[in-house]
Amino acid sequence: MAEIETFPNPAPNRNYVIRHVCPEFTSVCPKTRQPDFATIELEYVPDQSCIELKSLKLYYYSFRDEGIFFEAVINRILDELSSATTPRWMRVTGHFNVRGGISSVVTAETGSRG
Amino acid sequence: MAEIETFPNPAPNRNYVIRHVCPEFTSVCPKTRQPDFATIELEYVPDQSCIELKSLKLYYYSFRDEGIFFEAVINRILDELSSATTPRWMRVTGHFNVRGGISSVVTAETGSRG
Amino acid sequence: MAEIETFPNPAPNRNYVIRHVCPEFTSVCPKTRQPDFATIELEYVPDQSCIELKSLKLYYYSFRDEGIFFEAVINRILDELSSATTPRWMRVTGHFNVRGGISSVVTAETGSRG
Amino acid sequence: MAEIETFPNPAPNRNYVIRHVCPEFTSVCPKTRQPDFATIELEYVPDQSCIELKSLKLYYYSFRDEGIFFEAVINRILDELSSATTPRWMRVTGHFNVRGGISSVVTAETGSRG
Amino acid sequence: MAEIETFPNPAPNRNYVIRHVCPEFTSVCPKTRQPDFATIELEYVPDQSCIELKSLKLYYYSFRDEGIFFEAVINRILDELSSATTPRWMRVTGHFNVRGGISSVVTAETGSRG
Amino acid sequence: MAEIETFPNPAPNRNYVIRHVCPEFTSVCPKTRQPDFATIELEYVPDQSCIELKSLKLYYYSFRDEGIFFEAVINRILDELSSATTPRWMRVTGHFNVRGGISSVVTAETGSRG
Amino acid sequence: MAEIETFPNPAPNRNYVIRHVCPEFTSVCPKTRQPDFATIELEYVPDQSCIELKSLKLYYYSFRDEGIFFEAVINRILDELSSATTPRWMRVTGHFNVRGGISSVVTAETGSRG
Amino acid sequence: MAEIETFPNPAPNRNYVIRHVCPEFTSVCPKTRQPDFATIELEYVPDQSCIELKSLKLYYYSFRDEGIFFEAVINRILDELSSATTPRWMRVTGHFNVRGGISSVVTAETGSRG
Amino acid sequence: MAEIETFPNPAPNRNYVIRHVCPEFTSVCPKTRQPDFATIELEYVPDQSCIELKSLKLYYYSFRDEGIFFEAVINRILDELSSATTPRWMRVTGHFNVRGGISSVVTAETGSRG
Amino acid sequence: MAEIETFPNPAPNRNYVIRHVCPEFTSVCPKTRQPDFATIELEYVPDQSCIELKSLKLYYYSFRDEGIFFEAVINRILDELSSATTPRWMRVTGHFNVRGGISSVVTAETGSRG
């Protein structure tokens, strides 16, 4: 896994929400080995640290050759980003492009928005 | 009924939501024998198993020659998909094309979103 | 009043929502005798019976020469459709076209959504 | 036919274009006696006279109980409005609502735009 | 203040919502004497009387030469319309056009929606 | 092939354009036997006859079980509709849904728009 | 008429196009004395001088109490702005709000775009 | 910090909401010294004073040469505007343009909406 | 280069246009080694052969690890697809995602549309 | 003026079009010293050299503290970029944000598109 860098939360005494939307996520279908494409939406309430934007981009980039299902992608991103930054609350949503005439959205969250 | 295939939920300890949207649903009006068209939106919180996407597509495809009313379509899809996958929560919404100058939406759900 | 036909609810044990949207409603202004135009949105949770779509269309059509105010249109449709079908919950919304530079929306409901 | 009123063109020495769009046109299908709905778009280059807006509205209103096909509606409006106002150029476009799953647009014009 | 006319609520036994949207509101900035433009959205649950649409239009028209700030416009409209019609609930929202690169929305309400 | 019915052109002395848009076209992929979905746009300048709308719907319906490629669908519809109605000009456009991450549009025409 | 100020064209050797769009135009209907509202779109190829933006705003503002028809508004603006700035080409388009269920667009131009 | 001017709240006895949206915010990235761009959305329930619009514009303008991260921008605006005007409730949202393929939204609030 | 498969043009006597739009193109920036993302639009008039859709998808897929500039991508796709299928006319357009605050579109064509 | 870097056109034998759209342009009004904001659209047919994207960004950035009118901005960008890269054809369009209730677009070009 690519390293997630963080920087100190400039307002740790306040519950506030950060959202990063990346329409440039791509991985590989483990069954067909064809590329999958998605927009990944990350929302979180930081505790002591915020996610540095460039390392987030590189982290998403590390899935480019990974064979992984939609449901597993979102749960793994949530696990890895929340364990790297211990946010008060975090939600990850993947909007996956049409496959077989069906588009898919997977949403998982952890913690409490406060 | 076409067989619904499933695969093990990769994150069974977490309540999270999966949504599949299929704009390519077609069945037949039981009164006029004319084709009906709809977008079917499926949302669920998986328990032990997730719905495999290709089998979902084939399941929808199996309605192509079925004579069935809008209200019955949605309730039957909800019954069959929820009994095949025993989700924690499931909602099915059908957006049906204009008939006689009127468009219709039918929404049914089962279980609790948690 | 045009007769509203019904058919048996295919899933009477479940609370679910049906919505019919008709952008082709027209009546007559009782003051100016000029035609009024609206989109009528009907939502309901059926109890024992569902509204047959073609009879709904004819019912709306019966207002074509009626002189009636916006507020009265929506309350009368709600009264007549709910008494004809005894739903668990029903809401009627009229989106009326611009008159004198002002567009209007009137929304009334009865029962409880459950 | 409802009378079309005109007023003198304030700039008869200039070729310029006037467009009136009315989303509130309704007539009756001659086969099924069901109402049809359309948006009528009128464009013209006036010569000596311009069409008065209120009389245009009443003219469209006069089709409310008329049984007439889409193609005939547009050609008749073009014939009647152009003969009432002798424009340098005139085009009539009807955008008809969905019937049998098909929406229709009919466009006819006369004269030259200059 | 222009007189607000009312007519008897056709369904006083029911709590229902009426919304009138007017994109043609204009007043004058008290500091610069330049015109301001807004869309005014009025929503209310009528008690015994409903607001007559033409008198509402004339009421809005009466602000045309008035020098008044955004925040004062909305509170004054709410005060005057609620005291003229004693609704069960009323909300007034003004969407004001860009001034100095900033667009503004002001929303005030009174009573309880029930 | 389903029979295309026509009716006499009400304005044969004028070149004018008729457009029918049907978002409810479905056929079958000859390679995979999976259903394909498209919006078919038909435009033509009638000569002596116009296409009757209901027969057009039934004609499109006749492709429902046909195994045929996108490119062949559009050329065949153009051939069959133009030979059935001998228009002055005709154009057929198919907007096909996403397959393998790629959406497709095929456009063919015959005659001269005049 | 409010004075139109100009400043020297910074590129008089080049034919290029300037467009100013003002959604805040209002005048008064000469028949009903009710306010009219429009978006005015001005396009021109400057010759020796360009229109100063603030004076254009004040010029439009000067119509606020003017009783004038749509067609006359556009032709008068074109006459006055072109005679004040002698452009190589100028076009004025007014998009007028709905009156009696009909919205209107009037477009006039002078000179040649080059 | 640029001075925030206020004026007396015209309706201090009522809880109501003011929203100002400014799509013209720009600051500088502290790491790369490249400009950042954002739309800043300010919402608040005033207590005794309202924010004067022109001073708000100048306040935003004062960030033009400031090197500051997204998260710090929003928390600082919230701190400074709330301490200058002591509102009952205030929320600041920044919609930041795409950087490295990722767009960001940061939202912070203080007080209670009442 | 991935092999482009073709099938015989079903209507070689007619000039008609085929368009394939793929929003799932990704390559790598040769300077930064970061991934680039684009929508590729292919339009052509076939001569004797049409491009098979699945092989087109695989052809685009072959750029996934390629380091190549925007301008070179489009010209190379045009060269390779036109030499593989010898169309009467072909145009390739790439809509590239924002990089450094700037989005880019590159369009190249060959042959004559006829 | 910031230096514009170029790289060799990969397809100098073909006339093709490159478009770069930058929504992050800002300069300063020479009269009021207030910031102006615009989206700059650059289109060109390269001859021997293409514009390097990062240097284009820095070039736009160099206007940040420049006091300059809309019309002069566009003509100067066209002059400077065309003299730095000697394209076969070039067009620059600026979409400037609302000032005084009026939004503006300025478009200038040089050379021939071929």
How many other C-beta atoms can be found within 10 angstroms of the C-beta atom of residue E111?
15
- State the pairing for strand pair A102-111/B17-28: antiparallel
pLDDT digits (tens, 9 = 90+) for H28-81: 999 899 999 999 999 999 999 999 999 999 999 999 999 999 999 999 999 999
Any idea what the Cα angle at residue J69 is, between residues J68 and J74, rounded to 5°?
95
Is the pLDDT at D43 greater than 70, yes or no? yes
CA distances to E35, E38, J17, J36, J98 from J101, rounded to whole Å, are: 10, 12, 34, 14, 6
Residues of D classed as catalytic: 29, 36
**In chain C, which among 22-41 make CB contacts under 8 A with chain B?**
22-24
Neighbouring residues of H23: CB distance < 8 A, sequence distance ≥ 6: E101, H39, J37, J97
In this complex, is the C-beta atom of B2 within 8 Å of any C-beta atom belonging to chain A? Answer: no
pLDDT of residue B102: 96
Instruction: Give the residue from F53, F40, F37, F55 showing the smallest Cα distance to F92.
Output: F40
Q: Exactly one of H22, H29, H47, H79 is catalytic; which is it?
A: H29
Q: How far is A16 from chain H (nearest CA, A)?
A: 5
Helices (H), E1-107: 53-61, 70-85
**pLDDT averaged over every residue in chain D:** 96
Residue with tokens 């196009």: G17
pLDDT digits (tens, 9 = 90+) for F57-89: 999 999 999 999 999 999 999 999 999 999 999
pLDDT tens per residue across all 114 residues of chain B: 678 999 999 999 999 999 999 999 999 999 899 999 999 999 999 999 999 999 999 999 999 999 999 999 999 999 999 999 999 999 999 999 999 999 999 999 999 987
Those chains having 3 or more beta-carbon pairs within 8 angstroms of chain H are A, E, I, J
pLDDT of residue C113: 85
pLDDT digits (tens, 9 = 90+) for J77-102: 999 999 999 999 999 999 999 999 99
Q: How many angstroms separate the CA atoms of E88 and E16, rounded?
A: 10
Helix, strand, or coil here: D29?
Answer: coil
Q: Do chains G and H touch (3 or more CB pairs under 8 A)?
A: no
In this complex, is the C-beta atom of J13 within 8 Å of any C-beta atom belonging to chain H? Answer: no
Both tokens assigned to B18: 């999966």
Of D37, D97, D101, the CB nearest to B97: D101
Residues of D in contact with G99 (CB under 8 A): 53
CB pairs below 8 Å between H and I: how many? 7
**pLDDT < 70 positions in chain F:** 1
In this complex, is the C-beta atom of B50 within 8 Å of any C-beta atom belonging to chain C? Answer: no
pLDDT of residue C80: 97
Instruction: Give the residue from A72, A91, A71 showing the smallest Cα distance to A81.
Output: A91
Mean local confidence (pLDDT), G67-72: 96
Is the pLDDT at C114 greater than 80, yes or no? no
CA distances to H19, H65, I66 from I1, rounded to whole Å, are: 55, 49, 11
pLDDT of residue I96: 97
pLDDT digits (tens, 9 = 90+) for G28-43: 999 899 999 999 999 9
Confidence grade of residue D113 (pLDDT, cut at 50, 70, 90): confident
CB pairs below 8 Å between H and J: how many? 24
Instruction: Report the helix count and the strand count for chain J, using DSSP H and E.
Output: 2, 6
Q: Across-strand partners of E18?
A: C106, E44
pLDDT digits (tens, 9 = 90+) for C70-105: 999 999 999 999 999 999 999 999 999 999 999 999
How many other C-beta atoms can be found within 10 angstroms of the C-beta atom of residue C13?
6
Mean local confidence (pLDDT), J23-39: 95
- State the pairing for strand pair H35-45/H17-28: antiparallel
CA distances to C21, F69, I88 from I10, rounded to whole Å, are: 42, 9, 15
- E-assigned strand segments in chain D: 6-8, 17-28, 35-45, 49-51, 89-99, 102-111
**pLDDT averaged over every residue in chain G:** 95
Instruction: Give the residue from E52, E113, E54, E57 showing the smallest Cα distance to E88.
Output: E113
Confidence grade of residue A1 (pLDDT, cut at 50, 70, 90): low
CA distances to D75, I15, J102 from D112, rounded to whole Å, are: 17, 30, 34
Q: How many angstroms separate the CA atoms of I94 and I40, rounded?
A: 5
Residues of G in contact with J101 (CB under 8 A): 22-24, 57
Neighbouring residues of F14: CB distance < 8 A, sequence distance ≥ 6: D75, D108, D110
What does DSSP assign to residue B48? S
| Residue from G32, G78, G104, G110 whose CB has the most chain D CBs within 10 Å, to mutate | G104
Q: How many angstroms separate the CA atoms of E22 and G46, rounded?
A: 37
Those chains having 3 or more beta-carbon pairs within 8 angstroms of chain F are A, B, D, I
**pLDDT averaged over every residue in chain H:** 95
Q: Do C101 and E21 touch (CB under 8 A)?
A: no
H/E element, J99: strand J89-99
Q: How many angstroms separate the CA atoms of I111 and I86, rounded?
A: 9
Q: How many angstroms separate the CA atoms of B17 and B15, rounded?
A: 7
Confidence grade of residue A114 (pLDDT, cut at 50, 70, 90): confident
In this complex, is the C-beta atom of H6 within 8 Å of any C-beta atom belonging to chain J? Answer: no
Those chains having 3 or more beta-carbon pairs within 8 angstroms of chain A are B, F, H, I
pLDDT of residue J27: 97
| Residue from J98, J102, J103, J104 whose CB has the most chain E CBs within 10 Å, to mutate | J98
Any idea what the Cα angle at residue D95 is, between residues D89 and D98, rounded to 5°?
165
Q: How far is G69 from chain J (nearest CA, A)?
A: 23
| Residue from B27, B37, B98 whose CB has the most chain D CBs within 10 Å, to mutate | B98
Of A37, A97, A101, the CB nearest to F97: A101
Is the pLDDT at G46 greater than 90, yes or no? yes
Of E72, E74, E101, the CB nearest to H22: E101
CA distances to C84, I20, I95 from I26, rounded to whole Å, are: 58, 16, 11
Say if residues H100 and H19 touch (Cβ distance below 8 Å).
no
DSSP string for F21-58? EEEEEEEE-TTT--EEEEEEEEEEE-SSEEE-HHHHHH
Respond yes or no: is residue I36 known to be catalytic.
yes
Q: Across-strand partners of G28?
A: G35, G67
- What length is written for chain A? 114
pLDDT of residue D110: 97
Say if residues B107 and C17 touch (Cβ distance below 8 Å).
yes
In this complex, is the C-beta atom of G112 within 8 Å of any C-beta atom belonging to chain E? Answer: no
- What length is written for chain F? 114
Is the pLDDT at I2 greater than 80, yes or no? no
Lowest mean pLDDT among C42-46, F83-87, H1-5: H1-5
pLDDT along chain E (114 residues), means of 10: 90 97 96 94 98 96 96 98 97 96 97 86
Say if residues D74 and D94 touch (Cβ distance below 8 Å).
yes
pLDDT of residue H1: 60
| Residue from H39, H53, H60, H95 whose CB has the most chain E CBs within 10 Å, to mutate | H53
H/E element, G92: strand G89-99
In this complex, is the C-beta atom of E97 within 8 Å of any C-beta atom belonging to chain H? Answer: no
Q: How many angstroms separate the CA atoms of C33 and D57, rounded?
A: 13
Return the C-alpha torsion angle C38, G38, J102, E64, nearest 10.
-90
Q: How far is H114 from chain J (nearest CA, A)?
A: 34
Instruction: Give the helix, strand, coil percentages of chain E, each rounded to 5.
Output: 20, 45, 35
Is the pLDDT at J1 greater than 70, yes or no? no
Both tokens assigned to E33: 């004497």
What does DSSP assign to residue J65? T
Within 13 Å, how many C-alpha atoms sit on residue C88's CB side? 15
Provide the residue type at J89 as one letter. W
**pLDDT averaged over every residue in chain A:** 96
Confidence grade of residue G1 (pLDDT, cut at 50, 70, 90): low
Confidence grade of residue H113 (pLDDT, cut at 50, 70, 90): confident
pLDDT of residue I81: 97
The interface predicted TM-score (ipTM) is 0.94
Q: How many angstroms separate the CA atoms of H15 and E91, rounded?
A: 12
Q: How many angstroms separate the CA atoms of C5 and G25, rounded?
A: 51
Mean local confidence (pLDDT), D23-35: 94
Q: Do F37 and A101 touch (CB under 8 A)?
A: yes
In this complex, is the C-beta atom of G45 within 8 Å of any C-beta atom belonging to chain J? Answer: no
CB pairs below 8 Å between D and G: how many? 54
pLDDT of residue A2: 74
Phi-psi category of residue B101: left, alpha or beta, with phi > 0 → left and psi -120 to 50 → alpha: left
Q: Do I17 and F104 touch (CB under 8 A)?
A: no
Instruction: Give the residue from A85, A86, A110 showing the smallest Cα distance to A6.
Output: A85
In this complex, is the C-beta atom of I58 within 8 Å of any C-beta atom belonging to chain F? Answer: no
pLDDT digits (tens, 9 = 90+) for H52-67: 999 999 999 999 999 9
Burial G78-107 (b: 16+ CB within 10 A, else e): bbbbbebbebbbbbbbbbbbbbbbbbbbbb
Q: How many angstroms separate the CA atoms of H41 and I66, rounded?
A: 41
CA closest to G99 among chain E residues? E24
Residues of C in contact with B101 (CB under 8 A): 22-24, 57
pLDDT of residue B1: 61
Instruction: Give the residue from J21, J1, J18, J28 showing the smallest Cα distance to J95.
Output: J21
Q: How many angstroms separate the CA atoms of C28 and C64, rounded?
A: 7
Q: Do B53 and A104 touch (CB under 8 A)?
A: yes
Residues of A in contact with B44 (CB under 8 A): none
